[in-house]
Amino acid sequence: MSMTRRALLKASLTASAATLLTGRAGFAIAQDRKFTYKCAMNTPMTHTIYIRLAEAVERIKTQTDGKVIINLFPSSQLGSDTDVLGQVRAGALETVIMPGVVLANLVPLASLNSVGFAFKDYPAVWKAMDGGLGNHIRSQISKTNLVVQEKIWDNGFRHLTGWQPVNSPADLVGKKVRVPVSPVLLSMFKALGAAPAPINFNELYSALQTHVIDAQENPLTIISTGKLYEVQKFCAMTSHVWDGYWFMSNKKSWEALPAPWRTIVESNLAESAVAQRADSEKLNETLKQELGAKGLTFSTPDTAPFRDALRKSGYYSEWQKKFGDEAWGHLEAAVGKLA
């Protein structure tokens, strides 16, 4: 029995040492590998998201001694948002950064932060998205074979432009307003009495120019780059919806990276996301001045009547049921009572 115990102990120690050595050897082999990933995005190279992301991937390359390379493909070079989302889930593409309103087609709760007139300003957004609300949304995204980064990037508040000023909900009644294909946005404008029209963005300029539609809503960056100020006279700074971009990776591709390198990627992406947020806020102030100089007349309506109109129409109650009480609780904990 004594010999048996010694033999068992020796075998156990030998196996443990072998496992440790194999683990170290495995990491050494992984360190010798070079990981080259692609990242799809719909923003152009001039956008703050691309600029700050490009800085992050350069730091990642340097800090991993050139072993982790992330190549950026801006302006939807690898396909539409829905196409690249499918590619990342399937593993044909390693990473993607895209807005929550688009991701909501796969993860409905990704549009939870896009409930109408939920956030009053940027401090409220970051407190929520870096806190309980953001954590809850990330937990839902993680159930879809995607690894989502901690920090969300800024896509900005959306505002209304039109041929006529919008100062109250009554000014929207009967107006044809172009919106993206987003259920929560379509529902909001219907609740306000407007006639939302989900027209493709590449058709928006001509639709506004020919008065096929009366108004549209977008962040100031899009109003500027799309030159919508040429075919609109007024801009109401309603800040009716805020949305951001999530950086996501295919789970298998992400887990293939050695843990120390994953840490490097995470920290650099978080650093650049925070920097991009500040860039975006400053840019919005600059753009407002530039667009005003180009003839766009700005106003800042009181948002309380819009919230009241949505509450009376049942909009908030409807979306509380759709998102569920748990998710809605996270939203109201961040922004206050809505329904």
Residue 51's pLDDT is 96
State the pLDDT at residue 267: 98
Mean pLDDT of the chain: 91
SS3 assignment, position 132: helix
Between 202 and 286, name the one with better pLDDT: 286
Instruction: Please tell me what DSSP assigns to residue 106.
Output: T
The domain limits of the chain are 29-335
Question: Which pLDDT value is given to residue 80?
Answer: 87
What is the reported pLDDT for 40?
Answer: 97
pLDDT at 4 > cutoff 60:
no
Cβ proximity of 257 and 133 under 8 Å: no
pLDDT in tens, 89-108: 999 999 999 999 889 989 99
The CA distance from 43 to 47, in Å, is: 6
Contact 193, 174 (CB under 8 A): yes
> 1: pLDDT confidence band, cut at 50, 70 and 90?
very low
| 128 or 225, which is more confident | 128
DSSP-derived secondary structure letter, 93: S
State the pLDDT at residue 250: 98
Say whether pLDDT at 5 is over 80.
Answer: no
pLDDT at 211 over 50: yes
Residue 8 pLDDT > 80, yes or no?
no
Tell me the per-residue pLDDT of 11-23, one tens digit each, with 9 for 90 and over.
555 544 444 444 4
Q: What is the pTM of this model?
A: 0.84
Model pLDDT, residue 122: 95
Determine what percent of the chain is predicted with pLDDT higher than 70: 91
> 73, 78, 119, 123: which is closest to 100 by C-alpha?
119
Range 206-211, long-range pairs (CB < 8 A, 24+ positions): 207/178, 208/178, 208/232, 211/163
Nearest alpha-carbon partner for 333 in 135, 199, 82 = 135
Q: Superfamily for 29-335?
A: Bacterial extracellular solute-binding protein, family 7 (3.40.190.170)
pLDDT in tens, 53-85: 999 999 999 999 999 999 999 988 999 888 999
Q: What is the pLDDT of residues 289-301, one digit of tens each?
A: 999 999 999 999 9
What are the structure tokens assigned to 39, written together? 């990242």
What integer pLDDT is reported at residue 19 of this predicted model? 46
Percent of the chain with pLDDT over 90: 81
Asked if the model's pLDDT at residue 198 lies above 70, the reply is yes
pLDDT reported for residue 25: 44
| Residue 313 confidence (pLDDT) above 60 | yes
pLDDT for res 148: 98
pLDDT at 7: 55
Model pLDDT, residue 10: 55
Listed as own residue / partner, the contacts of 291-294 with beta carbons closer than 8 Å and 24 or more positions apart are 291/220, 291/223, 291/224, 291/229, 291/235, 294/229, 294/230
Scan for tokens 């978080």, then name that residue: 270
Residue 271 has pLDDT above 70, yes or no: yes
